Amino acid sequence: MLKAVILIGGPQKGTRFRPLSFEVPKPLFPVAGVPTLQHHIEACVKVPNMKEILLIGFYQPNEELNRFLSSAQQEFKIPVRYLQEYAALGTGGGIYHFRDQILSGSPQQFFVLNADVCSEFPLEDMLRFQKEHGDAHSFIILATTANRKQSLNYGCIVENEHTSEVLHYVEKPSTFVSDIINCGIYLFTPEIFQHIGAVFRKNQQDVMLDEQCNGWQRAEVIRLEQDIFTALAAQEKLYVYKTDRFWSQIKSAGSAIYASRLYLNQYHKTHPERLATNKDGGPKIIGNVYVHPTANIDPTAVLGPNVSIGTGVTIGAGVRVRESIILHGATLQDHSCVLNSIIGWDSTIGKWARVEGTPSDPNPNDPYAKIDSETLFRDGKLTPSITILGCNVTIPSEVIILNSIVLPHKDLNRSFKNQIIL
């Protein structure tokens, strides 16, 4: 049997996702119409023999998460449980802490997936690769190719080109090491816990010996990447499976629009029923669009490409939406125009208002380019990015909101450009 663990992090992570992460844990933010996590879960349940999915993180139990868990269990007919860390334990510490839960029922292997990525999740390919390459106890890292410059922002892997063994692993190097980067998706056997355990015990000793120890340093905090993979390299245990399928981090809100585009495109294969089509009496659909059935959309509106419309959204006559995510309960009044933006829950856009951002897409001319984990400011100026309205923001008629971030519950009374509006 198989299991899967999804690392969902906690509230002090995901700050780059503000102001949207104020309202909903980042793993539940909808991408292509469904919570980010659901894409992971859908990929996991497709793998034969998958018996349980465990979410590990340090969010306090909350209503959204509970609702998501119970609906996922119902929909996929598989146990989906949340295991809460008592503190942020790192990517290795979390799974080590809950190793008994993971190993109960004796899975031969288990996947570990970071929640903040979007991917085609070629999990079965990873299983096959594990079988084909060496022993059945090897660990597999899913990797992809980046360009030289951007590789520095990721975990970099040097492989033996013949055996695919990981010869060297370094997290976010300051100089170029390899263009093969870690996708944050792993296949482990239970033996991984021996390696994490060894690090744990060493940490314990270090903490005891260290008289300067100020108390917050914990032996249990273990990072898979720096603490485990680096040590496992060139030990004939760790192998890399490279994919050329789509993959991206979802760190910032801007990357959510890009991730939505990737998933919407995948729906042609996996969920064609989720893609809106041009129908009599319906809005004009251009390209890939997701519209929740409860949304109320005027037939003269034009949507797409890459638009996701949430529950209970109202879209008036002559509205244009492109490359945007409209969250539940939002209202776009007649003739308004929303481009490259995320419109927060229950926000209202007035007539003829224009809400526009600047896309932060990877360089389209470089097949290995990734989305830049953008810095908010460059040279003291807000870098042009997508426009994000927090929840319950009101935009008056006829104004323009350009490249701005509006925090929740604001009633704006004029146009804004290149600003964060507190």
Partner 1 sequence: MKALILVGGYGTRLRPLTLSVPKPLVEFCNKPILLHQVEALVKAGVRHVVLAVSYMSDLLEREMKTQEQRLGIKISLSHEKEPLGTAGPLALARELLTDSDEPFFVLNSDVICDFPFEDMLKFHKNHGKEGTIVVTKVEEPSKYGVVVYEGETGRIHRFVEKPQVFVSNKINAGMYIFSPSMLRRIQLRPTSIEKEIFPVMAEEGQLYAMELQGFWMDIGQPKDFLTGMCMYLQSVRQNAPERLRTGPGFLGNVLVDPTAVIGENCTIGPNVTIGAGVVLEDGVRIKRCTVLKGAHIRSHSWLESCIVGWSSSVGQWVRMENVSVLGEDVIVSDELYINGANVLPHKSITDSVPEPRIIM
Residue 23 within binding range of partner 1, rule CB under 8 A: no
Instruction: Say which residues have a Cβ less than 8 Å from residue 17's Cβ, sequence separation at least 6.
Output: 26, 29, 251, 252, 253, 256
Residue 323 within binding range of partner 1, rule CB under 8 A: no
| Residue list 261-320, contact with partner 1 (CB under 8 A) | 317-320
Q: Rounded to 5 degrees, what are φ and ψ at 358?
A: -110, 125
Please select the residue that binds partner 1; options are 351, 369, 374, 383, rule is CB under 8 A: 351
C-alpha dihedral, 395 to 399 to 402 to 406, nearest 10°? -20
Supply 10's token pair.
């906690």
| Residue list 99-158, contact with partner 1 (CB under 8 A) | none
Residue 26 within binding range of partner 1, rule CB under 8 A: no
Quick one: which segment of 2-10, 15-23, 55-63, 331-339 binds partner 1 (CB under 8 A)?
331-339
Beta strands in 203-292 (DSSP E): 238-242, 247-249, 284-285, 289-291
**Residue count, binding to partner 1 (CB under 8 A):** 17
| Residue list 179-238, contact with partner 1 (CB under 8 A) | none
Quick one: which segment of 2-10, 177-185, 352-360, 388-396 binds partner 1 (CB under 8 A)?
352-360
Query: Quick one: which H or E segment has residue 95?
Result: helix 90-97
Shortest Å, Cβ 354 to partner 1: 5
Please select the residue that binds partner 1; options are 382, 400, 407, 420, rule is CB under 8 A: 400
Residue 378 within binding range of partner 1, rule CB under 8 A: no
Shortest Å, Cβ 273 to partner 1: 29
Quick one: which segment of 151-159, 214-222, 330-338, 386-394 binds partner 1 (CB under 8 A)?
330-338
Shortest Å, Cβ 412 to partner 1: 16
Closest CA to 110 of 6, 245, 195: 6
Residue 402 within binding range of partner 1, rule CB under 8 A: yes
Supply 366's token pair.
């470089």
Supply 4's token pair.
């899967």
Nearer to partner 1, 150 or 331 (CB): 331
Residue 398 within binding range of partner 1, rule CB under 8 A: yes
Shortest Å, Cβ 421 to partner 1: 18
Beta bridge partners of 400: 354
Residue 396 within binding range of partner 1, rule CB under 8 A: no
Residue 385 within binding range of partner 1, rule CB under 8 A: no
Please select the residue that binds partner 1; options are 237, 356, 390, 412, rule is CB under 8 A: 356
Please select the residue that binds partner 1; options are 335, 342, 348, 386, rule is CB under 8 A: 335
Instruction: Say which residues have a Cβ less than 8 Å from residue 216's Cβ, sequence separation at least 6.
Output: none
Residue 357 within binding range of partner 1, rule CB under 8 A: no
Closest CA to 155 of 50, 228, 245: 228
Instruction: Say which residues have a Cβ less than 8 Å from residue 9's Cβ, sequence separation at least 6.
Output: 26, 27, 57, 58, 88, 115, 116
Residue 26 to residue 406: CA distance in whole angstroms: 18
Closest CA to 305 of 350, 359, 348: 359
Quick one: which segment of 114-122, 191-199, 346-354, 366-374 binds partner 1 (CB under 8 A)?
346-354
Residue 261 Cα distances to 246, 248, 311, 374, angstroms: 11, 11, 19, 18
The amino acid present at 315, given as its one-letter code, is I
Nearer to partner 1, 41 or 301 (CB): 301
Residues that bind partner 1 (CB under 8 A): 317-320, 322, 334-335, 337, 339, 351-352, 354, 356, 398, 400, 402, 417
